[in-house]
Amino acid sequence: DEICFDTETTGIDANEAELVGLSFAVTPAEGYFIPCPPNREETLSILALFSELFANTEKTWIGQNIKYDLLVLKWYDVTIAGKLFDTMLAHYVIEPEGKRGMDLLSAKYLGYEPVHIEELIGKKGKSQGTMRDVPLDKITEYASEDADITLQLKNKFAPLLKDKDVEKVFHEVESPLVQVLTDIEFQGVKIDTGFLNDYSKQLEKEAKTAEENVYQQAGVRFNLASPKQLGEVLFDKLKLDPSAKKTKTGQYQTGEDVLLKLAARGNAIVDDILAFRELTKLKSTYVDSLPQLINSRTGRVHTTYGHAVAVTGRLASNNPNLQNIPVRTDRGKEIRKAFI
């Protein structure tokens, strides 16, 4: 009633990746690999052979970071109906701190060093290949091993869940959330690019005004984005704080906390510096970046929720971080209007 599976794909972004193959394991030390061709229709035909199995609610599907695999399959119109057992999540509730990659878990709990993906596709970088480039015999060995190791990790973690008294939180809280997050990530969110483009121009204009105001009050032009040059202007030239502190490298501290204290003393130039920083950060981090993250297939932004990251149990959001859209300032709040 338990099937361990893993997907091999062309990339780490489940919303963009193509399925290269599926690996399965049902008993330890055995694994199977089903290759999938680049042609989508042919791959759909292969997946259709498993439709009855995928629809079986009595099965328990085991995986490592299984949300990724579910999301990949969802792009091929496949939804798994059975229960889920994610070994990454199991380790998270057993041992909340630390890393939990499959290679590391295998070495720690099984005493086995698996084949590293870099051995097949090369190190990260522009020259790195994809699993589509790997010969069938090598990808079969690699993918089958992944499924087998994950199955063996499940057998190690299941009793540990009981020993640590975290079975309830794993089965009733964390595991059901996997399907929910899969659906949220798959759905994505629409972005008003026209609004962001207009707002980018407005922020650029306001930042330029703030920058010129700084130069006028300083009596000198310098690189406002350079903490070193800024410190020299504020504390050597303008002498705004005779007791200004320096960093270990010998340059003045010009962090937000330092600038806010100076602004509270009525230094108008510091207000303009803070405004410049806010405007340029909003523009580069959010306004200009969000349109670049729009999925080419959907026209929407799809974040990835980290389910097993924070020790406190909260979710993490990446590429983009949708939990960190500004709300404290009026300028920051404007960005939220771009989400439709």
pLDDT for residue 222: 96
Band (126; pLDDT cuts 50, 70, 90): confident
Q: Write out pLDDT tens, residues 62-71.
A: 999 999 999 9
Q: Write out pLDDT tens, residues 114-123.
A: 989 999 998 8
pLDDT for residue 56: 97
pLDDT at 328 over 90: no
The DSSP code for 290 is G
Give the separation between CA 63 and CA 116, rounded to whole angstroms.
Answer: 18
Give the separation between CA 338 and CA 318, rounded to whole angstroms.
Answer: 18
The DSSP annotation for 182-219 comes to: HHHHHH-EEB-HHHHHHHHHHHHHHHHHHHHHHHHHHT
pLDDT for residue 305: 96
pLDDT at 327 over 90: no
The DSSP annotation for 309-334 comes to: --TTS--EEESS-TT----SSHHHHH
Which of the residue ranges 54-68, 163-177, 238-252 would you say has the lowest mean pLDDT?
238-252
Q: Which residues contact 226 (CB under 8 A, 6 or more apart)?
A: none
How far the first Cα of the chain sits from its last, in Å, is 43
Helix (H, G, I), strand (E, B) or coil at 33: strand
Indicate the Cα dihedral angle 256, 257, 262, 264, nearest 10°: 110
Q: Which residues contact 181 (CB under 8 A, 6 or more apart)?
A: 67, 305, 307, 315
Domain annotation for the chain: domains and CATH numbers? 2-187 (3.30.420.10), 190-338 (1.20.1060.10)
Q: Write out pLDDT tens, residues 94-103.
A: 999 999 999 9
Percentage of residues of the chain with pLDDT beyond 70:
100
Laid out side by side, the sheet with 60-63 consists of 32-35, 19-25, 2-9, 60-63, 83-86
The DSSP code for 170 is I
Q: Write out pLDDT tens, residues 190-231.
A: 999 999 999 999 999 999 999 999 999 999 999 999 999 999
Distances (CA, A) of 21 to 47, 71, 134, 211, 339: 10, 14, 12, 54, 35
Q: Where do we find the tokens 């299984």? A: 66
Crossing angle of helices 66-74/175-187, nearest 10°?
40
Give the count of beta carbons closer than 10 Å to the beta carbon of residue 162: 11
Q: Cis bond leading into 326, ω under 30°?
A: no
Band (124; pLDDT cuts 50, 70, 90): confident
Give the separation between CA 100 and CA 308, rounded to whole angstroms.
Answer: 9
Q: Write out pLDDT tens, residues 218-274.
A: 999 999 999 999 999 999 999 999 999 999 999 999 999 999 999 999 999 999 999
Cα 113 → chain centroid: 26
pTM for this model (two decimals): 0.89
Q: Cβ-count burial of 184 within 10 angstroms (0-12 exposed, 13-18 middle, 19+ buried)?
A: middle
Give the separation between CA 121 and CA 255, rounded to whole angstroms.
Answer: 42
Q: Which amino acid is present at 328?
A: R
The DSSP annotation for 3-23 comes to: EEEEEEES-S-TTTPPEEEEE
Give the separation between CA 191 and CA 299, rounded to whole angstroms.
Answer: 8
Strand partners, 32: 24
Distances (CA, A) of 336 to 10, 183, 192, 202, 208: 33, 22, 10, 16, 23
* Mean confidence (pLDDT) of the chain: 95
Check: CB of residue 67 under 8 Å from CB of residue 10.
Answer: no
